[in-house]
Structure 1
């Protein structure tokens, strides 16, 4: 294990992150706030620690990072970022968060979960509101690069499908420039979408500050808002529809965005099987939502359609914005929202959840097995669109589903063992594991009522979900540490 190299890369990451912590100082100055020192201290501490890690391991030449180092480095980057992101939230908020609560909020931000510890945002510093949005935006950017550059190479739960049909050994020297080039293009796409979202929100009536923060949290599919009422605060259908559009776009694989716009063929979206599964899932959930509300609510109106479409898009993409109290929907609709959030949007997007591509593989695999029950001698390849899926990929997806469900159940039962009611426990784990944010019961609006143990567990679950479970769990195996 190349610990010196890992330490150096960690140092570079923390140095870069320290300068990002300076940007809220501008907001503090603009609004004449008293918490400038919190961000200054955080910048200095992060910079010094990052410089230390970099300088003590300075080497002019080093070999590339292997898969094992990739796993460890990815986990350590997220852990270190969440730890150092906690500092301004401990030192600079009006709500005076405890260390555990601040860590929970920072983790929720960087993992784009959107589960907040704040029960009242109405009197919070503007710089803290901006910082929360910035954490989600930076976290979303990191997720995009991770999903496209690293996950396909290490094959997390079937995502190796995106590697293509590469035969033979991978030439790392040829691969690195492609990864760097692809990551750069994806960053540009991310920036362009953020600017478009900001401009749209601003023209639709948001203030300059609100448009900035909410464009950050929309494109990152984060869900943090500047207001206790979330998007309901704006009471503006134009803003609602703009949010729906940008949430939907951000839930699509960024590699598909790149492919479509680089070739100037928007038809590529319609040809992509995962995108087809994604929009059809949203459409069917929307129809089910509208029909259920119509049958249970005599005052059904056009606003019910807007609320249904917004809620479905927000939860399916794991954004977590709300314009209506989702716990008061009739019948099974609150549980349906949590369920579609567990499925999630497309792989290669900033969304959490199980991912549409995995759901599509499982459905097609189950369909094939049903056909083989009737025709045992039938030789039927597993396909996604026109692409054949190997048994290795299918097995990987089933394996991921097993670990995913076990993680979900174990986490929920631990919370129940702490005296938390079943509805709150199951939906809190579902919301954090899938980086969704809002749950049901005590965590429908915020997580302020959770005790310290629950906050620590849920913070761990957020990172676990963000890193596709395997990336973190593999570090706890004995064979990982053997050469």
Structure 2
């Protein structure tokens, strides 16, 4: 084995050991709460996954090799895969006693902050298991922020890093540098602080402390797991729903902006970000449109109620959080399709959100408009600008290529799900739910994946990882050139 792969093995060993630590908090909580049949499962899973990690790490612990950019693709992909595999153990050997297929889907959904679930009867699960699901989303959300802000820009995925107004991560180094650690610490502080504020707001809004902490972890991470099957419908509280809307939006904003705003003690940085302005405009327009559709369609008697539920569902979908209003898939007219459709756009780059990202969508729309103007004035030169700055043609091509590949992956995933036996609506909903990291879909997967065949569940697992890794990180591993030394 080459030094390169031995170094990667060492990192994966450390990742698996760190993943094993996620079993300890719920294990100790199970002891405190005197739960039967859960503490030993978490401790056993901790020992098994920790031993596996040490087994990988020990033989290569002294390897000294400078990892290059292309190694980052393999590391980030294998990190999500291995972390999902070892995180699935408690779901198999303890409540709710899932099959390996379903358990890996559930763990992957948590770590990728998708929020899709195969579990029905969340209300009856032991509290330690409920907490473990939320903890996976909390840690996954932090991992995604670091991936999006610190690592993916170095790998030059999709071109978004080249037109960010504020760059917080390293972008010019040719090898992985300690600056990633510095960036990660800063982002961790911002992310943790927002989660604490969210938990306090939920607690004051009427949740118990346990419920508040659990839902804060899945709201700021834009994950969408809940401790109840009805999610926020369990409380039916406007205060809690509007609080969730605020923190889902904050989770959908570039965490680099949050950090700069905190460091400068100024809110001005938010008003200067063109991507954020576009994001908020899309949210506002879509919320009003859906509210009008479901009010006129008679789903709600009062416009205030229609606007409340429409805004909650649109924000939940565009931030790919996935909290769902009960029966949203049965709303009048095109409302359900619009709700699911905004998940394609997603939130801001550098956030915990899935989807294509607002910056890329805005750029492609402007590029399309530029092509139309070019047809009218063939000899004229039209510049592409984002945030008042000129964007190079290479970035435009990079973003256009990313969206084209992403859409091809979506079509392939939808067709594959249809071949497993899902109907067209469910196949479309399942592909949207997993590739955008949204969670709820349409048809049979509108609320959960419990009744879906194993083939579609495995495809959903692949879709979640593919979407979370921005497609290119995984696809580049399929090229022969990548594996040549």
Does the 8 Å contact 1:152/1:162 carry over to 2?
A: no
Alignment of 1:8-47 (within 5 A): 8-34=10-36, 35-47=38-50
> Partners in 2 of 1:278 and 1:439 — Cα distance?
22
Does the 8 Å contact 2:69/2:174 carry over to 1?
A: no
* Cross-structure match for 2:85: 83
Structure 1 residue 294 displacement after superposition: 2.7
Structure 1 residue 386 displacement after superposition: 1.3
TM-score (norm 2): 0.95
> Partners in 1 of 2:313 and 2:448 — Cα distance?
17
> Partners in 1 of 2:67 and 2:47 — Cα distance?
29
| CA offset digits 1:350-409 (Å, max 9, x no partner) | 000011010011111112112111111111211102111111111111111111111111
Structure 2 gaps, min length 5: none
Say yes or no: does 1:413 pair with 2:418.
Answer: no
> Partners in 1 of 2:455 and 2:427 — Cα distance?
13
SS of aligned partner of 1:22: helix
Structure 1 residue 65 displacement after superposition: 1.4
Say yes or no: does 1:467 pair with 2:469.
Answer: yes
Say yes or no: does 1:276 pair with 2:277.
Answer: yes
* Residue in structure 2 matching 1:358, options 357, 360, 379: 360
Say yes or no: does 1:307 pair with 2:309.
Answer: yes
* Cross-structure match for 1:291: 292
Structure 1 residue 204 displacement after superposition: 1.0
* Residue in structure 2 matching 1:340, options 339, 342, 345: 342
* Residue in structure 1 matching 2:391, options 383, 389, 392: 389
> Partners in 2 of 1:18 and 1:351 — Cα distance?
25
Structure 1 residue 171 displacement after superposition: 4.5
* Residue in structure 1 matching 2:455, options 430, 447, 453: 453
* Cross-structure match for 1:187: 188
Does the 8 Å contact 2:320/2:437 carry over to 1?
A: yes
> Partners in 2 of 1:259 and 1:177 — Cα distance?
20
> Partners in 2 of 1:139 and 1:82 — Cα distance?
10
Alignment of 1:106-117 (within 5 A): 106-117=107-118
Distance of aligned partners of 1:159 and 1:129 in 2 relative to their CA distance in 1, 3 Å threshold: same
Alignment of 1:424-439 (within 5 A): 424-439=426-441
* Cross-structure match for 2:480: 478
Does the 8 Å contact 2:198/2:216 carry over to 1?
A: yes
| CA offset digits 1:183-233 (Å, max 9, x no partner) | 110000001001001111111110111111101000110000011111110
> Partners in 1 of 2:457 and 2:145 — Cα distance?
26
* Cross-structure match for 1:380: 382
* Cross-structure match for 1:218: 219
* Cross-structure match for 1:399: 401
* Cross-structure match for 1:105: 106
Range with bigger deviation, 257-266 or 335-344: 257-266
| CA offset digits 1:106-129 (Å, max 9, x no partner) | 111111000000122121111111
> Partners in 1 of 2:76 and 2:295 — Cα distance?
47
* Cross-structure match for 1:145: 146
TM-score (norm 1): 0.96
> Partners in 2 of 1:38 and 1:87 — Cα distance?
8
Distance of aligned partners of 1:481 and 1:128 in 2 relative to their CA distance in 1, 3 Å threshold: same
| CA offset digits 1:274-293 (Å, max 9, x no partner) | 10110000011011112222
> Partners in 2 of 1:263 and 1:178 — Cα distance?
20
> Partners in 1 of 2:212 and 2:204 — Cα distance?
9
Say yes or no: does 1:135 pair with 2:133.
Answer: no
Distance of aligned partners of 1:362 and 1:265 in 2 relative to their CA distance in 1, 3 Å threshold: same
> Partners in 2 of 1:86 and 1:150 — Cα distance?
26
> Partners in 2 of 1:129 and 1:352 — Cα distance?
23
* Cross-structure match for 2:264: 263
* Residue in structure 2 matching 1:55, options 34, 54, 58: 58
Range with bigger deviation, 401-410 or 438-447: 401-410
Does the 8 Å contact 2:70/2:155 carry over to 1?
A: no
> Partners in 2 of 1:481 and 1:377 — Cα distance?
44
Does the 8 Å contact 1:427/1:439 carry over to 2?
A: yes
Distance of aligned partners of 1:68 and 1:54 in 2 relative to their CA distance in 1, 3 Å threshold: same
| CA offset digits 1:73-107 (Å, max 9, x no partner) | 111111110000010000111x3211111111011
User: Structure 1 runs of 4+ off > 3 angstroms?
Assistant: 162-166, 169-173
Structure 1 residue 453 displacement after superposition: 1.2
| CA offset digits 1:336-361 (Å, max 9, x no partner) | 01110111001100000011010011
SS of aligned partner of 1:468: coil
> Partners in 2 of 1:64 and 1:189 — Cα distance?
30
Alignment of 1:197-216 (within 5 A): 197-216=198-217
Say yes or no: does 1:326 pair with 2:328.
Answer: yes
